[in-house]
Amino acid sequence: MNIDQPVILITGGTGSFGQKFTEIALRELNPAKLIIFSRDELKQFEMRQRFDGPSMRYFIGDVRDADRLRRAMEGVDIVIHAAALKQVPACEYNPFEAIKTNVLGAQNVIDAAIASGVRQVVALSTDKAAAPINLYGATKLCSDKLFVAANNFRGRHDIRFSVVRYGNVMGSRGSVIPFFLERRRDGVLPITDERMTRFNITLEDGVSLVLHALLSMWGGEIFVPKIPSYRIGDVARAVAPDARFEYVGIRPGEKLHEEMITATDGLSALEFDRHFVITPAIPLWDAGEYLTRFGGRRCAPDFSYNSGANTEWLTVEELRTLIRAHVDPAFSV
C-alpha cells in the first residue's frame, strides 16, 4: 500500500515511542497530518516545542473516551496505538485502571477506527504479553487478541489491524538504563538477579518495525523483531563498574527471562530476515502465499523466542556504545 502523505494519528503520542515515530515519520512519510492524541497537556506543550509544523495537530484525549477517539479519527488513514499503562507495580496496585486503559481502551480504538474509515491500525505490544505473569502483561495479551480478532468483524470496511511486539526499549522512561545512570551517583546499584536477561531494542529499530508493518501487513500478524539480549549484571557493569551491587531479588510480577514467542505460538510462527510473524489463530489468509510474497520460512515445530536462550548477546562494551548513541551522548565510565 502506498502510504505517501497519509493522515496519521498516534495514541499516547507524547511518549518515548511517539516522539521518535513523529521525528522519523515527518522525515520519511511526508504526512498530510500527524495527530498526537494523549491526555497530558504539559507533555503536549513540551512536544510542541520540538514538532510544530503545518502538518502537526495535538488532541487532548484519553483512549478510555470512545467519543473523543471517534472525533479525533475523522479523516485519518493510519492509527498507531501506543497508549498504555505500562508500569508493572502501578498496574498491580491499580488493576482495573490498567484494564480500562489497556483493554477497554484498545477496543475503543478498534471501534473508532472502523467507524471512521481508517485503513491501517498498528498496535504496540510487549514481550510481557507472552505467557504473562503480571497484570500489565495480561492486559496487553488481551489487547493483542482484540486487535488480531478485529480483522474478523471489520465487515465491508477496508481496514487491517496488526500488532508489533518487542522487548525493553533502550532509554525509554522508567527503564533500567536511565535508572542505573541516576543511581550510579550514589555508588550503589540495586540488582534484582545477576542471571536476569532482557531483550533490547532501540527506539529507532522499534519505529522501523512499525513502518515495515505498515508497508507489508495483511492483517492479523504479530510482528516480532530479531533483537539481542543483555544480562542485567552486564548493564550494571557497563554503567558503573566501580559501584557496589546490591542484590534485592526478583520483584512480584517479574520473570527471570522474558519471552516474545512461546512454544505454543511458535507452532504458527514464520521467520524472515529481520523479524518473525505470529500468524492469526483463526486463519485470515494463506501462510504459504504470505511466505512466497515476503520470502520467509516456517519456524521449527519446537521453536520459541526467549531472552535467556537468545543467540545474540550485547557485551559490556556494546552496551556502552549503545548508551552513548541512544541514551546519553555524554556518557562515560
Which residues are identified as catalytic? 128
- Tell me how crowded residue 329 is: count the other CB atoms within 10 A of its CB: 8
| Closest-CA residue to 180 (of 190, 195, 170) | 190
In degrees and rounded to multiples of 5, residue 331 shows phi and psi of: -60, 135
DSSP state string for 40-94? -HHHHHHHHHH--STTEEEEE--TT-HHHHHHHTTT-SEEEE------HHHHHHS
Q: 181, 87 in Cβ contact below 8 A?
A: no
Q: 111, 161 in Cβ contact below 8 A?
A: no
Instruction: Tell the burial category of 162 from Cβ atoms under 10 Å away from its Cβ (0-12, 13-18, 19+).
Output: buried
| Closest-CA residue to 224 (of 259, 260, 199) | 260
Q: 304, 264 in Cβ contact below 8 A?
A: no
Q: What cell does 71 get?
A: 472525533
Q: How many CA atoms lie within 13 A of 313 on its CB side?
A: 13
Give how far Cα 207 sits from Cα of 23, 24, 124, 217, Å: 10, 8, 10, 15
